[in-house]
Structure 1
């Protein structure tokens, strides 16, 4: 697998519940109904966009109406069921009096950049850098490893090891050494 260049030309950054996500007419997502994101091109940029959109949506913040179908339809691998179970449990603990399926609130994260670990037309792996509010007005940054595989005509995210995003994320001090997003989120 190699690490191809990805053009940011033509990317549009749109608000998704407080998080700016990248969209490209030619690389996807082509469908965004019901808060889901489907239809990514079998290109490096399509793989990157799929990794971002699917990983962001497979999170309890947006409610079970989003993370449930996202995980069920777009996350594969031996830990996909464990991811669904861990998200259901975490959502149940944090939902409080909200109706089932309701989002927990807006997101307060910025996608700053990424680094390829490898890409082929069948599989890709990357580290995604995000930043958000930390303690004492300090910006907290994390890098999350995301793997995707081309399956059934679209990119699918491979569930993180152990079925939790925490197991795929590590804190970092700076986005130095990563490809920074331009004209949008980061």
Structure 2
């Protein structure tokens, strides 16, 4: 998961939204390393139901952008391109969410964005990339992080993360000054299938250091979900963006 903070006393960043003392092996999560490291195609839980059919090429129905159907289903999005991006994707805009620039696209999502939850992405490589960027930040930084985590993450480590973080926050000291955030700097796809996308994202911190993290996105119940494995991989430092697509909003 992604860790957006510039750590003063460690090589890896620590998330300012995980209260003091809440950096455990299972919850080394944050803004610069989304959980992952390997393609995991199975996860337990009712929210990992059978994948929905691929999106069609039709544009979203009138009034669908920024909203969802009354039954909670997502609108059809216009993006149907199945080629993995090898350059900066066109049509992407950026907006700050708690200080972190997050990408969005009218064609690929999120089509439904609220205060904390951003959902409904195209079943395409760009949709998976946008979902990875949005979810990996929001489930950590959201005020209602529990709801975001339950709705948009799956995997063997999710329940432990929920329990460990909730327990830690009950006993944590009040937050002090927040460290500066990391920002998305680049990406590359490791693999892509219309049900599984493995994406490596590079994050840049204020002092200039870069860290890369691998995220696995799974298509479940009509949308992309971030997989939280039982043993999340830690982020790794990188020297440059060589081999990555340079991409970011700040």
Aligned to 1:101: none
Say which one has the larger Rg.
2
Task: Provide the aligned length of Structure 1 versus Structure 2.
Answer: 169
2:148 match: secondary structure? helix
Please give the alpha-carbon distance, in whole angstroms, between the structure 2 residues aligned to 1:148 and 1:126.
Answer: 8
Query: Is the CA contact 1:160–1:168 (under 8 Å) kept in the aligned structure 2?
Result: no
Query: Is the CA contact 1:17–1:107 (under 8 Å) kept in the aligned structure 2?
Result: no
- Structure with the largest fraction of helix: 1
Please give the alpha-carbon distance, in whole angstroms, between the structure 2 residues aligned to 1:117 and 1:97.
Answer: 37
Aligned to 1:48: 129
TM-score, length-normalised on structure 2? 0.60
Q: Which has the higher contact order (CA 8 A, sep 6+)?
A: 2
Question: Which of 170, 181, 185 is 1:108 aligned to?
Answer: 181
Question: Which of 113, 117, 122 is 1:32 aligned to?
Answer: 113
Coordinate RMSD, CA, aligned: 2.6
TM-score, length-normalised on structure 1? 0.79
Aligned to 1:5: 85
Unaligned runs of 5+ in 2: 1-38, 40-81
Unaligned runs of 5+ in 1: 99-103
Query: Is the CA contact 2:116–2:148 (under 8 Å) kept in the aligned structure 1?
Result: no
Aligned to 1:81: 159
Aligned to 1:132: 205
Aligned to 1:22: 103
